[in-house]
Structure 1
Amino acid sequence: MSTSRRKIEHLNFCAHSPVESRKKGSGFDDITLIHRALPEVNMDEIDLSTRFLGKDFSAPFMIASITGGHEDTIPVNRALAKAVEEMGVGIGVGSQRAAIEDPAQEESFRVVRDEAPNAFIYGNVGAAQIKEYGVEVVEKLVDMIDADAMAVHLNFLQEAVQPEGDRDASGTLEAISEITSLNIPVIAKETGAGISHEDAVLLKNAGVSAIDVGGVGGTSWSGVEFYRAKDRNDLRSQLLGEIFWDHGIPTASDLIECDVSLPLIATGGIRSGLDIAKSVTMGADVASAALPFVEPALKNEQEVINTLSNFIYQLKVSMFLCGCKTVSDLRDVPAVVTGWTREYLLQRGFEIDKLSMR
């Protein structure tokens, strides 16, 4: 099956099937931000602006990589791009692999920059494609959308479940290291299974500029592949998708795992402005989400704007109730970690009680 055909299948399953994490969740329910009964802040004067990888944002949020690579995804990416341009936030494109294989698909990615000339936009390529095609192709992908950064996605869980998957992970770190020589920030990006502290250290040493933790809690790509397998009666892949549906590190814990003095993106189960606030308090520079914007984007630009506006207003309320005037203040809010997340982090050896004593 062509990459382009897989892309439209992925989009359809995300739009119409329950593909989110089912058991673990993101871990944000285990995080409590300390409420201020006396916030001493005028909510109307709260400043949500932030700066990430050299670009100004109106709020610490991006629409995470969703789609591209098929002609039917052009209106979806157009709606998303128009919305982020208006709202002053960032966006990532879906994997540009389809455009490498078929230049006719370039327009489905290029439309994002056409409609969002001022927004922060990151490109997207798999580590396997870097190994296969080399740094020169990555440069073409950057030029395709005039990218502000390039994400290298690490989706080996999906590759292992997917019949067409690339299961050769050897040389991945070397490939990532090679493209950090480009004159553009490189983001190491997981896609739903998280990045351990050990791997975060390796990625930092390889020269990446930022890490997108991509933890458990949002879309399960193992779950997406479960539905694809079910449609074609592939029982082996279907069973794999079921077994590994929730495999990995939940996002809230993963922000602590990836605390290696690099900018962090919190992706995986961000479903409200309160989740954004908790992400920043737990160490993220910005948060991002994809699935909440799929259905709105299939309708129109205004629906995407409405969803973004809700997220951002909820973030402002969260900051108000914590007594925060700026995003920088939010990073110092005391937070209590309980439940499974606390148990996980303690067993991993992280000092988390200091979060509650800020």
Structure 2
Amino acid sequence: MQHLEFALADAQTQRPSPWSDIELVHCALPELALDDVHLGVTALGAQLAAPVVIAGMTGGHPRAEELNRRLARAAQRHGVAMGVGSQRAALERPELAATYSVAREAAPDTVLIANLGIGQVLQAGPDAERMLRACVEMIDADAIAVHLNATEEVVQPEGDHDFAGATAALAAAARALHPLPVIAKETGSGLAPGVVDRLVEAGMSALDVGGRGGTSFAAIEGARAAQIGDDVRARLGDLLADWGIPTPVTTATAARGGVPVIAAGGVRTGVDAAKALALGATMVGVGQPVLQAAVEDPHGAERWLEGFLFELRATMFLTGSCDVAALRRAPRVVLGATRQWLDQLEAAEGR
């Protein structure tokens, strides 16, 4: 519950949005009608009406049940995918399962993504497959995300600090759960090219890059630490509030890995989404703004998504792109710090 409150209190990274470094080139002669722009994509073994995932954010406390119901209704209405928050709470307290399973009740046709942390997978050892399958069964999921949250954990007063064997654990999960898609999901610090290579080799079905630019879990954990008088971790949370690889950078580099990429981290508008798709993302993840809309009004998430998808369609129209595949071929300009990031990463890789 604390995490939700801090996220809604706008615990965002403080630097300017990295999406401002990406410019899409205007096409004065689109040669298509706005209504002809098609947002549909095939992802995670299903057809989606639009390339959007409502990010896994909440569950495990009484307030979450209604919020997940509202988010799921929005996903169902607009034909997009949805994740739930970490299901660790319900594994430890089965009476909380309804705060997650409500998503399937409200969205019988939606692609749902279960969610468990790499820390729990590692701690479970040989019992990890059973735990992961329990998460999937809890919400009748179509895929499962294993979230990678080292930045959050190192600040969190009660955090897990041992990630040894994480790559092998992910590979074992992918083998055990096959053919169910297993997604590696960063939570705000991005995926470096070398990490992308390791995740692809481990058999991940998709990568949720979770880059810097949106909600800062280091800042959230720092604020929680401050509340209990842990000055050391509160200071660390401040220092690491802007830690990580900007979302446009990690999106562009991860897109070369050969598996579907979900661009998440600071995607606030349909224009941001179009930029992410132009950089090679298969889908975009949206979090804080749609959650805020759901909190404020029972149908707020549905209305927010409607506007977001209209912004995306309009931006695609203005680039002359009839679908997502065409948008990936549309000209774009990369400026500022993002250009420097990409140039230096490419130089380091010898590209």
TM-score for both structures, normalised by structure 1:
0.93
Q: Secondary structure at the match of 1:233?
A: coil
Q: Which moved more, 1:168-177 or 1:132-141?
A: 132-141
| Matching residue of 2:204 | 208
Residue 180 (1) aligns with residue 174 (2): yes
Q: Within the alignment, does 1:167 sit opposite 2:183 as a pair?
A: no
Gaps of 5+ in 2: none
Letter in 2 for 1:236: V
Question: Counterpart of 2:2 in structure 1: which amino acid?
Answer: E
Show CA shifts across 1:251-279 (max 9, x none).
00001221211100000000000111100
Structure 1 residues 250-265: aligned runs within 5 Å: 250-258=246-254, 259-265=256-262
Q: Distance in 2 between matches of 1:310 and 1:329?
A: 22
Map of 1:9 onto structure 2: 2
Q: How does 1:247-286 map to 2 (within 5 A)?
A: 247-258=243-254, 259-286=256-283
Identical pairs, percent? 39
Alignment of 1:48-197 (within 5 A): 48-133=39-124, 134-181=128-175, 182-183=177-178, 184-197=180-193
Following superposition, the deviation at residue 18 of structure 1 comes to: 2.8
1:4 — aligned with what? none
Q: Give the secondary-structure state (helix, strand or coil) at the position aligned to 2:183.
A: strand
Q: Distance in 2 between matches of 1:211 and 1:152?
A: 10
**C-alpha distance in 1, partners of 2:163/2:45?**
31
Runs of 4+ in 1 over 3 A off after TM superposition: none
1:222 to 218, 241, 244: 218
| Letter of the 1:284 counterpart | A
Preserved CA contact (<8 Å) 1:204 1:262: yes
Kindly provide the amino acid, as one letter, of the partner of residue 303 in structure 1. Answer: G
Give 2:229's aligned residue.
Answer: 233
2:47 and 2:252 mapped to 1: Cα distance? 25
1:190 aligned partner, one-letter code: E
Shift of 1:24: 5.5
2:13 corresponds to 1:21: yes
Q: Distance in 2 between the 1:168 and 1:12 partners?
A: 27
* CA distance, structure 2, for counterparts of residue 338 and residue 299 of structure 1: 36
Deviation at 1:129, TM superposition (A): 1.1
Against the structure 1 CA distance between its residues 316 and 262, is the aligned structure 2 distance closer, same or farther, given a 3 Å change threshold? same
Is 1:92–1:121's contact at 8 Å kept on the other side of the alignment? yes
TM-fit CA distance, 1:73: 0.9
**Structure 1 counterpart SS, 2:144:** strand
Give the AA of the match of 1:19.
Answer: A
Question: Which residue of 331, 334, 338 maps to 1:337?
Answer: 334
The RMSD of aligned alpha carbons is 1.2
- What aligned pairs does 1:312-327 form with structure 2 within 5 A after superposition? 312-327=309-324
Opposite residue 235 of structure 1, the aligned amino acid is D
Deviations 1:302-352 (A, max 9, x none): 11011101110000110110001111111111111110100111111169x
1:199 to 178, 195, 198: 195
Which is further off, 228-237 or 259-268? 228-237
Count of residues in correspondence between the two structures: 342
Tell me if structure 2 keeps the 8 A contact 1:152–1:186: yes
Give SS of 1:180's match: helix
- More deviation, 194-203/300-309: 300-309
Query: What's 1:356 paired with?
Result: none
Per the alignment, do residues 301 and 55 of structure 1 end up closer, same or farther by CA in structure 2, a change over 3 Å counting? farther
Q: Which amino acid aligns with 2:247?
A: T
Contact 1:14 1:294 in 2 (8 A): no
Distance 2:249 2:60 in 1: 32
SS in structure 1 at match of 2:89:
helix
